[in-house]
């Protein structure tokens, strides 16, 4: 009653009244340009949302566990399997590692098999001591999956394990393989016949998935969230169509499909992605004739490689933590946190332990698995869910109009769409509109690559077959261009010393400090030896200091008004000794250029291209 009385004393405010108040506070600035965010996903995000934004969302009256499953597949919890991947080179060693990590909190194993086949005895050795009725067992392999499924079933039967208790899957993603290689292993017909065999072989294992939809490939190739979801749905629908044409029923197919998504750093977007994905997949399955109970999307997630870095790698832990949180809050069946160093070296006991514990903290200490659909009712997330679902559905329909996923891929539509987004993101990284902490923003000044790095770390992963029928998708990392640039400086410095970049702060105290910090951060991204200074009282004092320091680049940091006189003086004094750069975009820039001062850095600079140009001037190749 007290609350009712309290709120009754305040008149309700309409959305327009809020907008009017915000517009007034903006003091003439454009509301849309200042506060409305245009996403890579193709829709706008407003600065605030209200209850009225929820009125037209039909799924708002559903409960967790109800069709269309936007609120999750489970009615009373949000539990998920914590997976750790194990590369299998020796089955006994892999088994020992599996038993070890199971005792440390893992309840889902992901065996990465590089062999073309695995005999029943080898599989039995690999799974010795693993209680398949208690933990998930998953396999990533390129060949021999049907044989593996049959052997797994036989081993479970011999151990007296109820087959409906065996959970996990083997990832057969023939469309993903085609997208990466540009051709099928043999032929499209043979590939789908093999996939049908796998689905049939796994019918006695009702909770074992065999058809993998690899959304992670789109994600790690630089796609937007909408593209990852839309193309994944199209691939999933194509699997159903082809398998039904081969004689399987929707009841046989639907429970065998699992989507493998990667999670980016877009926290709220990723929560909404999974919610939107479940809803759209439910409607797609229903159109294929599945009962509502059959219309669930099964999801495995993993941290994205696209935003992971080689430099300042411990920041990767922060990235993977937010990624794990957003995916778990969005709701999924299992998740893999990749160790922070997995993109550039073999993982270690330490990095694997941290990766495990990141999920264990969420489950055992933060209790994220206890609450079904924890994001429900958030005006913002519900609106994002709707926007992502609308845009992903448009993309899905566009693919269908082109004849389905494979036809669209062969025509280049999928690649061109993702490439266009990736190029936009690359430009955003180059201009620091999309930040990589420790790489293109706030780098660790003292960090040096101590060991030789493989050049492949800085290149896209290209699995294109020599006889590829079309262009392929090539996963890469958004930080690679900056890392390659910085590594060149590290290699150069071993024989020639690290180029010195000195700040030349003079004049207005506030402006010189702000611009000095900006410029230090700017040039440190290239691995230069950056040094700031408290400030010089005269140009002569500063010139003497930076000359004694043997600075190769000198950055004048002052106010716009003072640049007109100070910058030319510094330039004339250092001409032929160092490159003079002005921090900022002063109105007198053209006047300065006429006097020989041609180098400027500011917030609109293409940081990557600018630094590469300075590297070239210094002879760093």
As a three-state string, the secondary structure of 52-117 is HHHCCCHHHHCCCCCCCCCCCCCCCCCCCEEEEEEEECCHHHHHHHHHHHHCCCCCEEEEEECCCC
Cβ burial of 79 (10 Å; 0-12, 13-18, 19+) is middle
d(CA 572, CA 570): 6
Judgement on whether residues 500 and 370 belong to the same structural domain of the protein:
no
How distant, in Å, are the alpha carbons of 153, 164, 233, 290 from that of 249?
A: 22, 20, 19, 9
Q: Render pLDDT for 353-396 as a digit per residue (tens, 0 to 9).
A: 999 999 999 999 999 999 999 999 999 999 999 999 999 999 99
Which parts of the chain register pLDDT below 70?
1-7, 115-116, 142
Could you say which of 388, 409, 430 is where a domain stops? 409
pLDDT of residue 1: 43
Number of alpha helices (DSSP H) and beta strands (DSSP E) in the chain: 23, 15
6 domain-assigned: no
Residue of 217, 237, 243 whose CA lies nearest to 228: 217
d(CA 146, CA 125): 19
Q: Which residues contact 32 (CB under 8 A, 6 or more apart)?
A: none
Q: Render pLDDT for 495-514 as a digit per residue (tens, 0 to 9).
A: 999 999 999 999 999 999 99
Could you say which of 409, 434, 449 is where a domain stops? 409
351 domain-assigned: yes
Peptide linkage before 218 cis (omega within 30 of 0)? no
Q: Render pLDDT for 34-43 as a digit per residue (tens, 0 to 9).
A: 999 999 899 9
Assigned token pair, 528: 């230069």
d(CA 503, CA 526): 16
Judgement on whether residues 396 and 500 belong to the same structural domain of the protein:
no
**Coil, helix or strand for 588?**
coil
Residue of 86, 29, 145 whose CA lies nearest to 336: 86
Structural domain including 530 reads 490-618
165 domain-assigned: yes
29 domain-assigned: no
pLDDT of residue 116: 65
Judgement on whether residues 185 and 327 belong to the same structural domain of the protein:
yes
CATH number of the domain where residue 553 is located: 3.40.50.280
CATH number of the domain where residue 342 is located: 3.20.20.240
Judgement on whether residues 263 and 128 belong to the same structural domain of the protein:
yes
- Output the pTM of the full model: 0.94
221 domain-assigned: yes
**Coil, helix or strand for 241?**
helix
Judgement on whether residues 361 and 255 belong to the same structural domain of the protein:
yes
Judgement on whether residues 117 and 229 belong to the same structural domain of the protein:
yes
How many independent structural domains does the chain possess? 2
131 domain-assigned: yes
Judgement on whether residues 138 and 279 belong to the same structural domain of the protein:
yes
Q: Are 407 and 298 in contact (CB under 8 A)?
A: no
pLDDT of residue 8: 74
Judgement on whether residues 216 and 358 belong to the same structural domain of the protein:
yes
d(CA 147, CA 142): 12
d(CA 117, CA 37): 50
Q: Are 165 and 219 in contact (CB under 8 A)?
A: no
pLDDT of residue 141: 82
Judgement on whether residues 402 and 494 belong to the same structural domain of the protein:
no
Judgement on whether residues 284 and 397 belong to the same structural domain of the protein:
yes
Assigned token pair, 452: 């030789």
Q: Which residues contact 17 (CB under 8 A, 6 or more apart)?
A: none
- Containing 583, the helix (H) or strand (E) segment is strand 579-583
Q: Are 70 and 276 in contact (CB under 8 A)?
A: yes
Judgement on whether residues 263 and 369 belong to the same structural domain of the protein:
yes
Judgement on whether residues 356 and 498 belong to the same structural domain of the protein:
no
474 domain-assigned: no
Report DSSP state, residue 131: -
pLDDT of residue 316: 98
59 domain-assigned: no
Calculate ∠ Cα 399-400-406, nearest 5°. Answer: 65
Could you say which of 394, 409, 424 is where a domain stops? 409
Q: Render pLDDT for 400-437 as a digit per residue (tens, 0 to 9).
A: 999 999 999 999 999 999 999 999 999 999 999 999 99
pLDDT of residue 6: 67
d(CA 464, CA 178): 9
């Amino acid at each position: 009653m007290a609350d009712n009385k309290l709120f009754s004393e305040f008149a309700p405010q309409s959305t327009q009244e809020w907008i009017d108040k915000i517009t007034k506070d903006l003091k003439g600035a454009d509301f849309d340009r200042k506060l409305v965010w245009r996403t890579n996903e193709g829709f706008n995000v407003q600065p605030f949302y209200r209850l009225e934004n929820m009125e037209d969302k039909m799924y708002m009256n559903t409960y967790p566990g109800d069709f269309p499953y936007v609120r999750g597949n489970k009615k009373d919890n949000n539990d998920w399997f914590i997976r750790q991947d194990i590369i299998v080179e020796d089955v006994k060693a892999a088994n020992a590692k599996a038993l070890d990590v199971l005792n440390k909190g893992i309840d889902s194993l992901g065996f990465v098999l590089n062999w073309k086949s695995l005999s029943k005895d080898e599989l039995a050795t690999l799974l010795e001591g693993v209680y398949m009725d208690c933990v998930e067992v998953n396999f990533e392999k390129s060949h021999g999956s049907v044989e593996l499924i049959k052997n797994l079933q036989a081993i479970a039967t011999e151990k007296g394990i109820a087959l409906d208790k065996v959970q996990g899957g083997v990832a057969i993603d023939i469309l993903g393989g085609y997208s990466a290689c540009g051709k099928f292993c043999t032929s499209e017909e043979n590939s789908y016949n093999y996939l049908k065999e796998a689905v049939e072989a796994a019918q006695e294992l009702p909770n074992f998935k065999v058809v993998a939809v690899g959304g992670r490939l789109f994600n790690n190739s630089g796609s937007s969230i909408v593209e990852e979801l839309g193309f994944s749905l199209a691939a999933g629908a194509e699997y159903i169509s082809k398998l039904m044409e081969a004689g399987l029923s929707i009841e046989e197919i639907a429970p065998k499909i699992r989507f493998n998504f990667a999670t980016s750093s877009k926290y709220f977007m990723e929560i909404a992605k999974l919610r939107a994905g479940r809803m759209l997949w439910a409607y797609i399955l229903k159109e294929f004739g599945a009962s509502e109970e059959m219309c669930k999307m099964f999801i495995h997630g993993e941290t994205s490689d696209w935003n992971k870095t080689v430099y300042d790698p411990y920041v990767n832990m922060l990235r993977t933590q937010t990624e794990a949180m957003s995916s778990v809050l969005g709701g999924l069946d299992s998740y893999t946190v990749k160790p922070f160093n997995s993109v550039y070296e073999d993982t270690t006991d330490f990095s694997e332990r941290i990766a495990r514990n990141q999920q264990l903290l969420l489950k055992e200490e933060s209790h994220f698995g206890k609450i079904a659909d924890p994001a429900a009712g958030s005006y913002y997330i519900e609106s994002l869910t709707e926007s992502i679902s609308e845009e992903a559905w448009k993309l899905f329909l566009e693919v269908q109009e082109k004849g389905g996923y494979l036809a669209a891929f062969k025509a280049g539509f999928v690649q061109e769409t993702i490439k266009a987004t990736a190029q936009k993101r690359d430009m955003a990284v180059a201009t620091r509109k999309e930040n990589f902490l420790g790489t293109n923003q706030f780098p660790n000044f003292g960090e040096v690559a101590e060991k030789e790095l493989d050049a492949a770390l800085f290149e896209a992963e290209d699995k294109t077959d020599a006889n590829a029928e079309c262009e392929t998708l090539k996963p890469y990392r958004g930080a690679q261009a900056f890392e390659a640039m910085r590594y060149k400086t590290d290699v150069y410095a071993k024989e020639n010393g690290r180029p010195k970049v000195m700040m030349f702060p003079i004049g207005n105290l506030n402006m010189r400090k702000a611009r000095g910090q900006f410029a230090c951060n700017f040039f440190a991204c290239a691995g230069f030896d950056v040094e700031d200074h408290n400030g010089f009282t005269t140009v002569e004092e500063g010139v003497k200091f930076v000359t004694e320091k043997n600075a190769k680049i000198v950055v004048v940091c002052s106010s716009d008004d003072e640049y007109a006189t100070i910058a030319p003086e510094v330039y004339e004094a250092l001409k032929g000794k160092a490159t003079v750069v002005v921090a900022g975009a002063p109105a007198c820039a053209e006047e300065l250029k006429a006097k020989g001062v041609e180098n400027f850095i500011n917030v609109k600079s293409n940081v990557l291209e600018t630094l590469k140009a300075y590297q070239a001037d210094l002879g760093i190749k």
